[in-house]
Amino acid sequence: NVWCAAGEGTFGTEEVIRRVTEARLSEVVNHRRLILPQLGAPGVAAHDVRKGCGFSVAYGPVRARDIRSFLEAGMKASPSMRRVVFRTMDRLILTPVEITGMLRPAGWATVALFLLGGVGPGVFSLGAAWERGIAAVVALAAGILAGAVVTPVLLPWI
């Protein structure tokens, strides 16, 4: 998304100037205005874009679906156009991605936990590995679920 890209430097002033120049936008449109997503603002210096490619920058609404209303209102954003709503379902939709990303590391951690669980006074015990390994893997699974499910649900109150 644009906000993350702006924060990590992949959507910024130089990128906007480069894209406008490469697309030869000045030959395609008769105005010199760009409407950029509001959440891209941290990475874009509007005055430098104007110097770099001759286009002025207006920061539009957060969501693309509001652009028509934004234009119809004379490029004025209503308060709702400036606000991001991140509901519980919006947050939970990412849970499978989070869990999938943890499968390989959790698999290796499970093997390590079982092996370490078997280490004891008698060097190594399969019984101890099973007993302590299960407890450790349950704790690992609880941690993954807490991070991937519980935290996103409780995010507004944390």
Q: What pLDDT, on the 0 to 100 scale, is given for residue 117?
A: 93
Rounded Cα distance between 17 and 35, Å, is 13
Q: What pLDDT, on the 0 to 100 scale, is given for residue 4?
A: 64
Give the torsion through C-alpha atoms of 145, 148, 151, 156, to 10 deg: -150
Are 61 and 98 in a shared domain?
no
Q: What is the pLDDT along the chain (158 residues), one digit of tens a residue?
A: 565 665 666 788 999 999 999 999 999 999 999 999 888 888 899 999 999 999 999 999 988 899 999 999 999 999 999 988 888 998 899 899 999 999 999 999 999 999 999 998 889 999 999 999 999 999 999 999 999 999 999 988 88
Are 34 and 96 in a shared domain?
no
Domain that holds residue 35: 2-82
Are 65 and 112 in a shared domain?
no
Cα distances (Å, whole numbers) of residue 47 to 13, 17, 62, 105, 147: 9, 11, 21, 45, 41
Are 71 and 92 in a shared domain?
no
Are 66 and 9 in a shared domain?
yes
Residues in Cβ contact with 6 at an 8 Å cutoff, skipping those fewer than 6 apart: 12, 39, 40, 41, 42, 43, 44
Rounded Cα distance between 82 and 67, Å, is 12
Are 9 and 76 in a shared domain?
yes
Identify the helix (H) or strand (E) that includes residue 5. helix 2-8
Are 68 and 116 in a shared domain?
no
Are 59 and 109 in a shared domain?
no
Which two structure tokens, joined as six digits, stand for 16? 């906007």
Are 56 and 93 in a shared domain?
no
Are 25 and 74 in a shared domain?
yes
Total number of domains in the chain: 2
Are 75 and 96 in a shared domain?
no
